[in-house]
Amino acid sequence: MQTNWILYGTEGCHLCEEAFELFKQSAPDKLGRLEKVDIAYDNSLFEQYKFSIPVLKDSQGRELYWPFDAQSLNEFLS
């Protein structure tokens, strides 16, 4: 089963960029299966995540909220 990840964030969010860079460093082989979603364009997502971004979500619905580091990210990805 191929796992996909969504990184919820918004343009101009430096924490979201940090989370994306951490993902790229920790899981370069999974980068092609990561979708970045800007919550500013979806009212429902904005209401759900406006105080939590960045949030990484997997295809099983699990979510990893910022702040996370390389260790917690690797645990989440495995």
Average pLDDT in the chain:
93
- Residue 9, pLDDT > 90, answer yes
Distance, in Å, from the CA atom of 52 to the CA atom of 29, rounded to the nearest integer, reads: 26
User: What percentage of the chain exceeds 90 in pLDDT?
Assistant: 83
The residue that leads in pLDDT, 76 or 2, is 76
Whether the CB-CB separation of 62 and 11 falls below 8 Å is answered with: no
CA geometry: angle 47, 52, 56, nearest 5 deg: 105
Q: Structural domain boundaries of the chain?
A: 5-77
Q: What is the pTM of this model?
A: 0.90
CATH topology classification for 5-77: Glutaredoxin (3.40.30)
- Residue 19, pLDDT > 70, answer yes
- SS3 (DSSP) at 26: helix
Whether the CB-CB separation of 8 and 37 falls below 8 Å is answered with: yes
